[in-house]
Amino acid sequence: MDSDLRSGKKWGKRLLIIGRVALGIVFIVAAYMKMKPEPAMPWSLASIKTSLSMFAMGVDSYQILPPWAVSLVAHWLPPFELLLGIWLLTGLALRASSLIAALMISGFFVAMTSAYERGLTISCGCFGPGEQIGPKRLIEEGVMLLPLALAVCIGAFLAARKGNEGDQSPLEVTVGLGDTARR
């Protein structure tokens, strides 16, 4: 039973690593697609600003935020996504990073569903311009990304809880596991 538990924990850890790396890559790619210069423009602060302004038009088309908030979100969200992606890859303070990621993806999902409900046929803006909001995009977000983010978040909290239990006292863990205590 002990070895089963250990291998289960091992697999849990592995899955958590795979999940957070996948989530980190998704955020980094999303940030890159929004920040990369438009064709025939060189990499420069001005060209990145242009790309972010273009992303702002996509955010504005959701008709949720006032223009000042659109500008704020459009200029800060992609750099934050980049940082969050890197943060998830490092695995540092995973509970915080995965919670932020899950909240962000939930927010995107709600915004997209709301736009779809209102009959807006607009570009999603998730990975740069061009991707229309529709059932396909909503399924991708709702069935793949959101569960992934939630799984990583729950996994991070569970792992931390078990880790804390381990830190507290080996006896408590043994007692808590029941099976081991009987032995």
Partner 1 sequence: MLPRFSFGSPRASWFFLLCAGLVLTPSLALPQAAPSAALKSTDPSPKSAAKTSAKSADSKPVATGPLVKSYGSSGAPIKLDVFTDYQCPSCRNFYQGSLRQLIASDYITSGKVYLVHHDFPLQAHMYSGLAARWANAAARVGQFPEVEAALYDNQDAWGASGDIAKYVAAALPAADFKRVEALVKSCESPAPTSTWDHGDPLARDPHPCAFDYAVRDDIELGYKIPVQATPTYVITYKGQKLPAGSGMVSWPILKQFFDSLLAQQ
Cβ atoms 29, 125 nearer than 8 A: no
Nearer to partner 1, 27 or 62 (CB): 62
Name the minimum Å distance from CB 40 to partner 1: 5
Name the minimum Å distance from CB 113 to partner 1: 16
Nearer to partner 1, 51 or 98 (CB): 51
Name the minimum Å distance from CB 12 to partner 1: 42
Cβ atoms 74, 52 nearer than 8 A: yes
Cβ atoms 107, 59 nearer than 8 A: no
Name the minimum Å distance from CB 63 to partner 1: 6
Interacting residues of 94 by C-beta distance below 8 A, sequence separation 6+: 16, 20, 88, 152, 156, 159, 160
Name the minimum Å distance from CB 67 to partner 1: 4
Q: Which residues sit at the interface with partner 1, rule CB under 8 A?
A: 38-41, 46-47, 49-50, 52-54, 56-58, 60-63, 67-68, 70-71, 120-123, 128-130, 132
* Both structure tokens of 106: 């939930």
Nearer to partner 1, 37 or 91 (CB): 37
Half-sphere exposure (CA, 13 Å, Cβ side) for 29? 8
Residue position matching structure tokens 């996994």: 155
Nearer to partner 1, 28 or 73 (CB): 73
Cβ atoms 181, 174 nearer than 8 A: yes
Nearer to partner 1, 64 or 150 (CB): 64
Nearer to partner 1, 5 or 120 (CB): 120
Name the minimum Å distance from CB 72 to partner 1: 12
How many residues are listed for the chain in this entry?
183
Determine the 3-state secondary structure of 123 from DSSP: strand
Cβ atoms 135, 141 nearer than 8 A: no
